[in-house]
Chains A and B, each alone.
Chain A
Amino acid sequence: MSSLADQIPAYLPAWRRFKDRAATATISGGGASVLVAILLIFFYLIYEVLPLFTGASLEPRAQFAMAQGVQSEYVAIEEQGELAMSVGNDNVVRFFQTEDGAIRDSVELPGSGGTLAVVAQDSPESRLLALGYADGTVRLMRHQYRITYPNDQRLITPAVEFPNGDAAFTLSDQAITALAVRDAEEGLVLVSLHDNGELHGLRITRDENFLTGEVEITEESLSLPAGGNTVSVYVGSSQRWLYLLGDDGSYRVVDLKHRGADIVLPVVDRGQLFEGRGNLSASALLLGGISVLAASDEGELAQYFMVQGEAGPRLQRIREFDTDGETVTALIAEHRRKGFAALGQQGRIQLFHTTAHRRVLDEQLDFSLPVEPHSALSPRGNQLLLQQSNGDYRGVALDNKHPDISWSALWDKVWYESYPEPDYIWQSSASNNDFEPKYSFSPLAFGTLKAAFYAMLIAAPLAICGAIYTAYFMAPALRRKIKPLIELMEALPTVILGFLAGLWLAPFIEDKLTGVVIILLVMPVGVLLFAFAWSRLPVNLRTQVPDGWHAALLIPVVLFLGWFSFAISDAVELWLFGGDMRVWVTNDLGISFDQRNALVVGIAMGMAVIPTIFSIAEDAIFSVPKHLSFGSLALGATPWQTLVGVVLPTASPGIFSALMIGMGRAVGETMIVLMATGNTPIMDINIFEGMRTLAANIAVEVPEAEVDSTHYRVLFLAAFVLFLFTFVVNTLAELIRQRLRIKYGSL
């Protein structure tokens, strides 16, 4: 900085010169790297968040041929992605390597059920398949994989098991054209569509006797309506809804659990799937078995699920996916996520995610697909096995780590499965695997702003009024003591404020709610009454208290008013609210009341931000040049008029920046909110209910989030949002303050 510093004396001995150079290098290098390190936080957060928004990519592998002349009816990939299996129409199950198609093992299916016609799968997790034969019989099979590590090498041993043994279910003597199976704890449901257009259903119930442990199996045949033009059948995961999709895009939903005298199970809803009146070209069940996906030959693709409407349950069209006009001929649902792949006949592949309502990938492959391709997605979603139109197989490696986040999933209302309407929900994890994660930032951002709002509601008037008085009216001797005292609070750990709020203030407010309300009315009125009475006192008495000591004078008054408010609260409560204001609020006003609510948070967090706002605002008011106010006073204005007319306008940018910084603190505060609210992510402005803030949410969920999972990155995104918000607010405040400084300098 000083030019003199650059003038190195000519006679400087070498070692001193060296030392000087070394110091310069060390400090420059060290200092710059420290500064870079702090700024690193910004880039690291971006680095963690960015993968959420990058799309997916794919890489085709070599093609290979399987057993010649055998038509595969079904293919699947096991967990590790090393092996795949196919069920051929020659009644042989083949396990082969996904890498090159080399057959590892093959198993002949038992029984001579004629030609295998259809294979239907239960949820991908159970690996249960129903095999439908041309003679109308159905067999069950399950593919299993055992992993061992001989010589530290992974070895996967595939196996086929038949839950029902050799026995087959005979639903009809006609060939099966479509089949659906759904297995659950209590039983299994099979529905088949036959050549003659008939639908047959079978419900097998397992009843385990608690005492003997014997399993009793009952078979009950379901009487279903006629098939009509149905081409696809699906049974939902609750085993309640049977979806029948017609080739003309019509649908019917049958209630399988209908209890009634009807002979045939009733169709509860029917209609057209497509707005464009196209014909059905592909359909599938999404993971979890709640949503149906259907595509038309005119390029429409949409998701549907059952919603309880006013006129009973109906199949609701939830959202459309933009296929860019491509006719989708196959839909493959992912095994772990609510995503799916849509394949076009010409080899165009698109990956979608339903909750995020997002197309993650759109790519044209260099081969075309058959009319009815049998393809499989690996359980981890990183591999796709496609059948080419020439019958060969082709592996495709997928890189699709975070399809489930999009702008709309984070901030807009999303219609989640099993919800009656679109909503803002944060629910990041659940116990079951087919859970639909709900990553809506809206309730969290709302909670954050709600907490900050109530905190500011309490802190802003107290801190700014206090700052005005301390800077402008207070006697200097008193000011020297009061200012550090209030600023002392800044060093008070927020965990202590939070704990007092949660364990002391919350029960206290619940118990003495009336007193808290009364204090809001009594305090200003009481202070004003005292002030007026004081102005009526004889001058001699008044001048005993020097100017600028009002605050000290008021301390006993405020204490008395506080005590008074709580002393009369019981009587008032009895008189106005029948003895319990809490009950009155809940029952008569219909406002729900949580013990740990926004009021408690507001007070506690208010206490935490008062010192920040007070300190900055006080400095701003105090540093307004004195000659300005002297001029105003000399012209006859009262002190208050001078304050309002001259001092506050000059200091207002400073006060504004104080508020901004206080707001920034309230937004990022974690411990108080964590301890003083119930941490429920709800969107309700009600002062008597809690909230969950972004910061508290991070503190609660980060330790449990799996590293580099979507959930983990979403929490980083929450941190990034917080970071950006406070950074912008603080920068704004800082710029305003700097301008203020320049302005004062010119005065």
Chain B
Amino acid sequence: MTEETRKELQQVSSASLGSWVKSGEPMVWINAAAVSMSVIAVIGLLALLAVRGFGHFWPGQVLAAQVEDGSSVRPIMGEVVDQVEVSGEQLRSAGYTLTGPGPFYGRSLLKQGNRDQYGTDFVWLIDEQVKERDFPTTAMVIERTEWGNFYGYLGKVISEGEVVADAADDDGAAWRAFQTSIDQTLAVREDIHHVERVEIGHINYELERLRLRQRSLELQGKDTPEALAELAERRAELDAEYRVLQDQLRELYASIQDHSYTALLADGREVTLPLARVVRAYRPNDMSLLGKIGFYFSKLWEFLSDEPREANTEGGVFPAMFGTVMMVILMSIIVTPFGVVAAVYLREYARQGFVTRVIRVAVNNLAGVPSIVYGVFGLGFFVYFIGAELDQVFFPEALPSPTFGTPGLMWASLTLALLTLPVVIVATEEGLARIPKAVREGSLALGATRAETLWRVVLPMASPAMMTGLILAVARAAGEVAPLMLVGVVKLAPTLPVDGNFPYVHLDQKFMHLGFHIYDVGFQSPNVEAARPLVYATALLLVAIIALLNFAAVALRNRLRERYKALEH
């Protein structure tokens, strides 16, 4: 720093408040504060998502305590999930008697689970009323396929009417026996799932196809007795297979039916519950740090790889993740060629003039048109207009139930492709505009045709720009939910759009989407409180997927740039 500036600074610093204000320095600071606040908001938002999202899988301590409300004492058990400070006045007006000094009192939200026993999963407790807090190591949490979590102590493990182990005699042995039984029933349930979903699902699919074939023959007037007999024969075969599977299924169900366990609730009641409904049982208070970490990752894996349970509020989000990625990929496949062709036409082939300028402005502005408008267009034009026509022509045998005349994966991808088309066109066009004229003319001068110049020289050089367009398109499409609500997303799709049944990819099916999952579980679910942590985790996953798709595309673009760098100079 030079001597002059130092002096100058000295002067400024010793200036009065008035001249400090006059120099505009305060406004500069205010502007700087705006940047700081924006940055804090961005980072805070991501941090909030990360903390809540990642925190969801960590096993929380199970609290056992006595709640003293006036004269009555009530034992409770569960996980504390939230804590707030409430003014005494508010509590008193709600009918609580308070003894503490106030003016604010802590309130905790306890997840007590056992919805089948108590009716509600969550209770608010006033902290000062919670006495004898304890974290017993034998307290167990059971995740179930219905009625949410169970909190209590293990009683007996019962198999075929006989007590296999009793926690009152030997807790360790009982716990081990309990875990073994759970593993066994889980294995059987896995088999059942396979038979029901894959094998019987396949037979049902085949039967449905036979029905459609028959209908189609009838419509064409080709329902000759021979053709019908052939179909009937095939149907009989499938029916036979089906009966075999059904017997198998019945056996499997019978084998897990008579296993049960008893458990003690916080208030000492003993209840007998079926083992077949247990997903997982654990004792969080008894876990070591390593055990908790292991548990954490098993839960995380379940979240990523499993199907949702209990009206989407438990279990995993795999179908939603699959649907999101599938839709984005389909959208990219559709949007890239069309976007590039349109941009090449607009920049290289169309006569430049007023019309192209107007089109350019219009295309640019379509990027700013609200996504819901595209959704409405997709529903009206693709689904009800084109889809209904397609059904008339190609799927008359399925009518009146629509095949493509109803929202589905293809229409969703097409709608989003249309939504992102302007982005791709604009980006590609910018790339094309940046290519020096000399390069093109060089190619033409060497005798290449226009098409050859385009294919060999121009397009490769513009490929990084196309990737930029695609990146922007993917970023926009992956997070877009509003139009999808109209053209194909559902809260629960029974099957994935890709499966083992011919033609393997079912573009007419409805699908699940992470973004819609967030909306649906967070706002339409009957038990929002229980679902909330899952929504945070889902949101985090969506951000991660978008980031991943983006990074992949950015990496690809950088490689392309490297390759064609030499050409640009």
Report which A residues bind B (CB closer than 8 A): 1-2, 4-5, 7-9, 12, 16-17, 19-20, 22-24, 26-28, 30-32, 34-35, 37-41, 44-45, 48, 461-466, 468-470, 473-474, 482, 485-486, 488-500, 502-504, 511, 523-524, 527-528, 530-532, 535-539, 542-543, 550-555, 557-559, 562, 570, 573-574, 578-580, 583, 607, 610, 614, 638-641, 643-644, 661, 664-665, 667-671, 674-675, 695, 698-699, 702-703, 707, 715-716, 719, 722-723, 726-727, 729-731, 734-735
Contacts and interface: CB of A to CB of B under 8 A. Distances in A.
A674 B437 CA distance: 49
A469 B421 contact: no
Interface string B131-142: 000000000000
B376 to A, nearest CB: 4
List of 9 A-B pairs having minimum Cβ-Cβ separation, nearest first: A31-B345, A640-B24, A668-B370, A493-B479, A23-B451, A465-B34, A579-B87, A670-B482, A531-B29
Nearest to A550: B32
23 contacts: A9-B447, A16-B449, A26-B341, A27-B345, A31-B350, A39-B362, A41-B366, A469-B35, A485-B39, A490-B475, A495-B519, A499-B518, A502-B523, A503-B528, A538-B13, A542-B9, A554-B33, A580-B90, A640-B23, A670-B370, A699-B375, A722-B370, A726-B368
A70 B255 CA distance: 80
B319 interface: no
A669 B542 CA distance: 19
Interface in B32-91: 32-43, 45, 48-49, 84-85, 87-90
A530 B348 CA distance: 57
B550 interface: yes
Given A35-B342, A35-B345, A698 B33 contact: no
B194 to A, nearest CB: 34
Nearest to A538: B13
A665 B361 CA distance: 17
A507 B88 CA distance: 19
A727 B29 CA distance: 36
Among A35, A500, A550, chain B packs the most CB atoms within 10 A around the CB of: A35
B24 A31 contact: no
B31 interface: yes
Given A496-B539, A667-B370, A674-B519, A469 B376 contact: no
A491 B380 contact: no
A657 to B, nearest CB: 11
A41 B374 contact: yes
Contact of A500 (B13, B34, B48, B345): B48
A656 to B, nearest CB: 15
B10 A726 contact: no
Contacts of B366: 38, 41, 727
Given A607-B45, A669-B370, A542 B13 contact: yes
Given A558-B40, A715-B376, A734 B349 contact: no
Interface string B463-482: 00000000000011011111
B30 interface: yes
A719 B13 CA distance: 57
B39 A551 contact: yes
Contacts of B528: 503
B225 interface: no
Contacts of B416: none
Contacts of A537: 13
Interface residues of B, number: 113
B12 interface: yes
A513 to B, nearest CB: 12
Given A27-B349, A44-B377, A558 B37 contact: yes
Interface in B251-286: none
B522 interface: yes
A45 B437 CA distance: 41
A730 B362 CA distance: 9
Secondary structure of the B contact surface, majority rule: helix
A580 B87 contact: yes
Contacts of A557: 33, 36
Interface string B420-445: 01100000000000000100110011
Nearest to B347: A1
B365 interface: yes
Contact of B29 (A2, A527, A664, A675): A527
Given A463-B38, A488-B42, A719-B376, A20 B449 contact: yes
B453 A5 contact: yes
A671 B103 contact: no
Contact of B546 (A493, A527, A530): A493
B522 to A, nearest CB: 5
A441 B137 CA distance: 61
B45 A535 contact: no
Contact of B441 (A2, A570, A729): A2
B359 interface: yes
Contacts of B24: 638-641, 643-644
B26 interface: yes
Given A465-B31, A499-B523, A551-B33, 4 more contacts: A503-B522, A527-B33, A573-B87, A640-B24
Contacts of B37: 462, 466, 523, 558
Nearest to A490: B475
B492 interface: no
Contacts of A492: 45, 479, 543
Given A703-B485, A727-B369, A675 B451 contact: no
Contacts of B543: 492-493, 496
B382 to A, nearest CB: 10
Interface string B346-363: 111110100000010111
A554 B40 CA distance: 10
Contact of A499 (B90, B370, B421, B522): B522
A496 B312 CA distance: 17
A13 B448 CA distance: 12
B39 A493 contact: no
Given A2-B444, A496-B49, A695-B370, A555 B515 contact: no
B346 A31 contact: yes
B214 interface: no
A28 B345 contact: yes
A614 to B, nearest CB: 7
A383 B342 CA distance: 49
Contacts of A488: 42
Given A474-B35, A558-B37, A726-B370, A31 B481 contact: no
B449 A668 contact: no
A216 B45 CA distance: 67
A409 B391 CA distance: 37
Given A2-B441, A28-B345, A527-B30, A491 B479 contact: yes
B387 to A, nearest CB: 12
A1 B352 contact: yes
A727 B440 contact: no
B36 A35 contact: no
A19 B449 contact: yes
A48 B376 CA distance: 11
Contacts of A27: 341, 344-345, 348-349, 454
B542 A493 contact: yes
Given A23-B451, A499-B535, A675 B39 contact: no
A719 B374 CA distance: 9
A24 B535 contact: no
B452 interface: yes
Nearest to A555: B36
Contacts of A500: 45, 48-49, 539
Contacts of A583: 90
A437 B503 CA distance: 46
Interface string B320-346: 000000000000000000110111111
Contacts of A580: 87, 89-90
B26 A531 contact: yes
Interface in B529-549: 532, 535, 539, 542-543, 546
A722 B376 CA distance: 11
